[in-house]
Amino acid sequence: MRIVLFCENKYAIDILNPIQMEAARERTNEILWYVHSKKIPEFPLKDEVAWTNSMQEVYNFSPESIFVPGNIVPYYLPGVKIQVFHGYAAEKKDHWVIRRYFDTYFTQGPFFTRGFARLAKKYKDFEVLETGWPRQDWIKEHLHAFDEEKQQMLQRNGRKRLVLYAPTFSPSLTSLPYLKKALVDLVEQEKDILLIMKFHPLTKQEWVDEYKALAEKHDAIMWIDDFSVTKYQIMADVMISDTSSTIYEFLLLDKPVITFRAVAKDIYWKNITDITLLRQAYREVLTDQKSAQLRKWVIDNYDPYLDGQVAHRMLEGTRDYIRRHGVPAKRSLNIWRKYTSIKTFGRVKK
């Protein structure tokens, strides 16, 4: 099977890499990454995988399947177009918008399956298959890979617990303008905490510079300039955030989360609206049984598939779709969607 892993944004790399690894293990697949040159000027896997930033090359490759953790994919490309999602943020309205670009949706867990199954009945032009989220395969494989590194970090700084601050980049939702002093107070009053800060790649540079400077002034605060947040989610004991999809990824590890002014219909963690309550919230979440029960609900409903087999299910599901329907030559869309597709990714010569 000829597979395209479609990276419009940098966050897609971590999501798609488990599919690359599983497809390569099978040794029966040809794999090509599409990497958007403007949004991903430096591709971290450039020396490890076959890739291109040319849509014409993607078209000439004649894919049989295209895995997309984003909202749009060129309609004119051949192949089964598969939505694999870029997170778990069900409270964001665009998570549920059907843009008609996809032949099938591979959902993370029962909560999402129910929602998209209802939409499939309404639109009648796509299927839904529950597989789990591919990044969970990497997490399964690396659950204890960083234990020693974590202990060394804590010992070097004379601390006992790792707290991750991972805010969203969105100016209307981020906690960055509000939490700086509260975070400093937290590490100064709670002597067991080593605070690590990992920001979204799209965060405003002025905020990045401000918090980098903060980390330089405080021994108990570390700035993380790494590509992926997932490693530090695995290492951390508690996460502080706001309205970010990383909240759900952390909850799925069965670890406590504190948010500041989270915009969500349903709250499955500790949310505060007063920055002076951060220290109290930290102490509460360490032993709060109600929060632990809510996390269990999230695990069971959002994504229970921490079995290392998500990418395998996705490849099997794709082959099953092709067996039943064949390989689509293109995706039929209205004029507006076609225009949006061409405006975003350009045309190709057929």
Domain ranges (residues) in the chain: 2-133+306-345, 145-302
**20 has pLDDT over 90:** yes
Q: Tell whether pTM > 0.85.
A: yes
Return the CATH number of the domain spanning residue range 145-302: 3.40.50.12580
**49 has pLDDT over 80:** yes
pLDDT at 91: 72
Q: How far separated are the first and last CA of the chain, in Å rounded? A: 21
Banded model confidence at residue 265, pLDDT cuts 50, 70, 90 = confident
The CATH T-level fold of domain 2-133+306-345 is Rossmann fold (3.40.50)
Least trusted range by pLDDT, from 92-101, 157-166, 195-204: 92-101
Instruction: Average the pLDDT over 135-157 and give the result.
Output: 96
pLDDT at 96: 85
Of 314, 309, 167, the residue nearest 250 (C-alpha) = 167
- Reduced 3-state DSSP string for 126-183: CEEEECCCCHHHHHHHCCCCCHHHHHHHHHHHCCCEEEEECCCCCCCCCCCCCCHHHH
Neighbours of 181 (CB within 10 A): 12
d(CA 278, CA 260): 9
Cβ-proximal residues to 74 (8 Å cutoff; 6+ apart), any chain: 55, 58, 341, 342, 344, 345, 348
**147 has pLDDT over 90:** yes
Helix segments in the chain, DSSP class H: 12-26, 55-61, 110-123, 135-141, 147-157, 180-189, 205-217, 230-235, 246-251, 278-285, 289-302, 310-325, 335-345
Q: What does the mean pLDDT of the chain come to?
A: 95
b/e code 22-49 from CB counts within 10 Å (16+ = b)? bbeeeeebebbbbbbeeebeebebeeeb
277, two tokens: 């309550």
Overall size of the chain counted in residues: 350
Let me know if the fold of 2-133+306-345 is the same as that of 145-302.
yes
**182 has pLDDT over 90:** yes
Banded model confidence at residue 226, pLDDT cuts 50, 70, 90 = confident
Banded model confidence at residue 251, pLDDT cuts 50, 70, 90 = very high
**260 has pLDDT over 90:** yes
Q: What is the pLDDT of residues 271-325, one digit of tens each?
A: 999 999 999 999 999 999 999 999 999 999 999 999 999 999 999 999 999 999 9
**227 has pLDDT over 90:** no
190, two tokens: 């709670």
Which is more confident, 155 or 95? Answer: 155
d(CA 284, CA 157): 24
Instruction: Average the pLDDT over 319-346 and give the result.
Output: 95
**89 has pLDDT over 80:** no
